[in-house]
Amino acid sequence: QVQLVESGGGLVQTGGSLRLSCAASRRTLIYYAMGWFRQAPGKEREFVAAISWSGGSTYYADSVKDRFTISRDNAKNTVYLQMNSLKPEDTALYYCAADRTTYDGPYSPTDFGSWGQGTQVTVSS
């Protein structure tokens, strides 16, 4: 397993932007597919975006397509989620997750074996 730490969450107005970061401690993220998930109060955790180990393949939930962008910098052991045009329904606790695989996807949530503690994103209307 790899230890993951998310950062970058906060309070933003509708239409605003945030960039989340997910850093790995004590281990490189190369050869890991990475994903972002979110969970709103009273709802189940849902998939947001994923990126293959090389960065060559990306996947998005329909609800965030064209607004969110996942990227990675393997030299910095960090994965990012750029979130633009935020909506109140994007309010949730955002988690990053890692799956040690060179498979280019798509991925199932159960593929991800390592999870961070989450960072809160709140979008005010």
pLDDT tens digits, 38-66: 999 999 999 999 999 999 999 999 999 99
Taking Cα atoms as reference points, which of 71, 78, 94 lies closest to residue 29?
Answer: 78
Task: Please report, as a single letter, which amino acid is at residue 1.
Answer: Q
Taking Cα atoms as reference points, which of 52, 44, 48, 40 lies closest to residue 96?
Answer: 48
Q: What is each CA distance from 69 to 57, 109, 115, in whole angstroms?
A: 12, 19, 20
pLDDT of residue 26: 72
Taking Cα atoms as reference points, which of 95, 75, 87 lies closest to residue 124?
Answer: 87
Q: What tokens appear for 120 in the block?
A: 């809160």
Q: What tokens appear for 88 in the block?
A: 């109140």
Q: Which residues contact 39 (CB under 8 A, 6 or more apart)?
A: 45, 46, 92, 93, 95, 118
Residue 34 CA to residue 36 CA, distance in Å, equals 7
Q: What tokens appear for 84 in the block?
A: 């633009």
Residue 82 burial by CB count (10 A; 0-12/13-18/19+): exposed, middle or buried? Answer: middle
Please state, as a whole number, how many other Cβ atoms lie within 10 Å of the Cβ of residue 115.
Answer: 18
Taking only the tens of pLDDT, the chain with its 125 residues reads 889 999 999 999 999 999 999 999 877 888 999 999 999 999 999 999 999 999 999 999 999 999 999 999 999 999 999 999 999 999 999 999 999 998 999 998 899 999 999 999 999 99
pLDDT of residue 21: 98
